[in-house]
């Protein structure tokens, strides 16, 4: 005769908080095991491998354009694929499209909310997406008629339950990826506003994201206040890799040009490089004299240089392979909040709490 206490019934008897404690312990044990496994294959440091690589030598970077026009902290910027237009957003709700060559403002929109922390240029160059404290991501088609009110054609695409921290179009104007203070990322169809996929796994605000270069497939990386950088499969919604080595919030993540690695910048004043095939952190970019958080990172076109914008108003430039800091740039008068290298790698742009954007180039 079958025992009255079948296995299903037995679990019901166990109090709920005990199960939670068990799950937590199991999770932590697995995490430690994962670290052990990762360490086993780490047989050489990146800077050791880089010893045979030629040094970079001296070079100078200077501000070539200063874009003035925002009335408050600049929070985010993005380049257009045409390599000269830029969209930027600020704390006072303004989103501006600039021609960085001439420094002219081509379009300006006032969002119905303040703290527009995210903005992105569409691949076609015909629209921009932005959002922030409104918890939404909206798309504005860029009108040619200067008199037309851009806000009239605004399309509301994403809806989160907390602030929008970052957004990015995928390969086309048709889909947008977003990250939010509500701890999730999401993929949306622009035309219908439909949620295509959501990504759960962060334990706190997600602050940044970056799409893998198109050749490497449908993945993206996100970073958050839980100190984790997660790599996601866009089709399944699953987290395929997770890295937790930073000591504080991760403010920025960016893929290495080949797509085999990505860099991160954090409030712990370090930038780090994670290799996806080795499945571990492979380099830390830090210096005793650098004690303020990194707000934003991006690679040079070849991936040899990593640019970091910092909360102490400076930009530090790192030799990705050798791990050394090759240059420090001064100029902004408040935090650097955003930094992107131009699509052809000839310049990079920074946005700052000092209300300005600067375009920098290499002089050598």
Partner 1 sequence: MTINTMAKGGWQREQMICFRMMEKMIVAMQDPDMGMKLRNQRLLITVIPHAMTGHDIIIWLIHKYSVCEEEALHLGGMLVKYGYIYPLKEPRSLVLQPDESPYRFQTPYFWTSTRWPASELDYAIYLAKKNIRKQGELMEYEKERYSLLHKKINHTWDFVVMQAREQLRASKQRRKADRIVLECQEQAYWLINRPPPGVHNMLDVGLERQNNFNLRATLNSDFYKNEIEVYRRALGRNRVKSSICLEGVPVPTRLRVERWSFSFMELLNDAMGRQEFMLYLEKEFSAENLYFWQACEEIRHGESSKIVEKVEEVYKNFLAPGAARWVNIDSKTMDKTLEGIKQPHRFVLDDAQMHIYFLMKKDSYPRYLKSDLYKNMLAKAIVPQETKKSVFPFMRRQRHSSPSPAQAVAQVTEEEGRHKGAG
Distance of CA 318 to the CA centre of its chain: 18
Compute the least distance from the CB of residue 177 to partner 1, in Å. 19
- CA dist., res. 234 & res. 178, Å (int): 12
Compute the least distance from the CB of residue 197 to partner 1, in Å. 15
**Closest of 180, 158, 181 to residue 169, by C-alpha:** 158
- 28 vs 189 by CB, closer to partner 1: 28
- 196 vs 275 by CB, closer to partner 1: 275
Compute the least distance from the CB of residue 4 to partner 1, in Å. 26
Compute the least distance from the CB of residue 189 to partner 1, in Å. 21
- 1 vs 364 by CB, closer to partner 1: 364
**Closest of 108, 115, 119 to residue 79, by C-alpha:** 119
- 99 vs 174 by CB, closer to partner 1: 99
CB count, 10 Å around CB of 139?
25
- 20 vs 194 by CB, closer to partner 1: 20
- 31 vs 156 by CB, closer to partner 1: 31
The answer to whether the beta carbons of residues 340 and 298 sit under 8 Å apart is: yes
- CA dist., res. 211 & res. 234, Å (int): 10
DSSP per residue, 275-343: ETTTTEEEEEE--TT--S-EEEEEE-TTSSEEEEEETTS-EEEEETTT--EEEEE---SS-EEEEEE-T
Compute the least distance from the CB of residue 3 to partner 1, in Å. 26
CA dist 5 → 1, 8, 17, 164, 165 (Å): 12, 8, 21, 49, 50
Rounded-to-10 torsion of CA 197, 215, 244, 345: -120
The encoded tokens of residue 357 equal: 């954007």
Compute the least distance from the CB of residue 225 to partner 1, in Å. 5
Distance of CA 199 to the CA centre of its chain: 15
- 235 vs 287 by CB, closer to partner 1: 287
Compute the least distance from the CB of residue 310 to partner 1, in Å. 10
């Amino acid at each position: 005769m079958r025992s009255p206490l079948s296995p299903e019934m037995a679990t019901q008897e166990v109090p709920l908080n005990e199960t939670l404690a068990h799950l937590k312990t199991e999770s932590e044990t697995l995490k430690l095991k994962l670290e052990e496994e990762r360490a086993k294959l780490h047989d050489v440091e990146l800077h050791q491998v880089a010893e045979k690589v030629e040094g970079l030598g001296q070079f100078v970077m200077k501000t070539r354009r200063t874009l003035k026009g925002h009335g408050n902290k600049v929070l985010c910027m993005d380049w257009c694929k045409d390599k000269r237009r830029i969209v930027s957003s600020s704390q006072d709700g303004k989103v501006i499209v600039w021609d960085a060559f001439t420094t002219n403002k081509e379009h300006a929109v006032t969002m119905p909310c303040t703290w527009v922390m995210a903005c992105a240029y569409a691949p076609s160059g015909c629209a921009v997406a932005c959002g922030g404290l409104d918890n939404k991501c909206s798309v504005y088609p860029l009108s040619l008629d200067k008199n037309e009110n851009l806000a009239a054609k605004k399309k509301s695409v994403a809806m989160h339950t907390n602030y929008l921290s970052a957004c990015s179009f995928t390969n086309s104007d048709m889909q947008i990826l977003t990250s939010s203070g509500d701890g999730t990322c999401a993929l949306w169809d622009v035309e219908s506003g439909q949620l295509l996929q959501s990504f759960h796994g962060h334990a706190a605000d997600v602050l940044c994201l970056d799409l893998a270069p198109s050749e490497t497939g449908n993945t993206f990386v996100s970073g958050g206040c839980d100190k984790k950088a997660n790599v996601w499969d866009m089709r399944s919604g699953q987290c395929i890799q997770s890295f937790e080595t930073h000591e504080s919030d991760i403010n920025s993540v960016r893929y290495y040009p080949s797509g085999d690695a990505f860099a991160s910048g954090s409030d712990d004043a370090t930038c780090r490089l994670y290799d996806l095939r080795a499945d571990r952190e492979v380099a830390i970019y830090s210096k005793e004299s650098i004690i303020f958080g990194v707000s934003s990172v991006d690679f040079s076109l070849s991936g040899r240089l990593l640019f970091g914008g910092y909360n102490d108003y400076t930009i530090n430039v790192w030799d990705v392979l050798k791990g050394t800091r090759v240059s420090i740039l001064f100029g902004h008068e408040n935090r650097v909040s955003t930094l992107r290298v131009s699509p052809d790698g000839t310049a990079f742009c920074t946005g700052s709490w000092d209300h300005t954007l600067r375009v920098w180039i290499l002089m050598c």
